[in-house]
Amino acid sequence: MCRLLLAFTTFFALVMSAAIPARADETVWSGLVIAQNVQQPEPIPVELTRIERPLKELFGYNQFQVIGQSHKTLKTGQEDWLATSKFFGLHVDARGESEAGYILNLKLYKEKELLLETDAKLSKRSPLIIKGPQVGGGQLLLVLIVR
């Protein structure tokens, strides 16, 4: 009877451990992307493959290059970080976490000039794309993806 009880307890523990997934730290990828139309487009960066179709369909460009990026692992949901290129900076300030995702304050700087500010609730399963200013013949895009 004792062995049976032990076996049952072990089984129960295993099932419950499978049922309640451990909460892993999540990483937010933030990227500054230049979208352009070129004769011979380069392959889309790995970070953007997940949203390749909407990027091409919505913005109408055939090449996407990452000019600045940041991988930030969120532990408390209160972190802040910066993704920068030579002239642009995207400051992300996480202001908490909810079931739906992370509440973020985003600021796009051109050098020291604030171009755009937005607050968003970034879902863990739904990327955010921000259309930035026109840069030459292309377009600056800001992309945030939770991994």
Partner 1 sequence: MKTFEEKWTAWLDGQLSGKELAEFEASLPDKAAAEAEKRDVKKLGVLLKRELGAGVLCNEDFFSHQLRERVARESIEPPRKQATEVSTWWTIRRLFLTGTVSLAFFLVFAVFVMREKNPAEQSQYLTQILNARVDPAISPNATISMFEAKEDRVTVLWTEGLQSLPADYAAK
Query: Which residues lie near partner 1 (CB under 8 A)?
Result: 1, 4, 8, 11-12, 15-16, 18-19, 34, 36, 51, 53-54, 58, 65, 67-68, 85-88, 99-101, 103, 110, 113-138, 140
Min CB(14)–partner 1 separation in Å: 10
Min CB(75)–partner 1 separation in Å: 20
Q: In whole angstroms, what is the distance from residue 131 CA to residue 102 CA?
A: 20
Which is nearer to partner 1, 25 or 99 (by Cβ)?
Answer: 99
Which is nearer to partner 1, 1 or 46 (by Cβ)?
Answer: 1
Min CB(132)–partner 1 separation in Å: 7
Which is nearer to partner 1, 25 or 113 (by Cβ)?
Answer: 113
66's CB contacts (< 8 A; 6+ apart) are 31, 32, 33, 45, 47, 48
Determine contact, residues 78/94, Cβ cutoff 8 Å.
yes
Min CB(118)–partner 1 separation in Å: 4
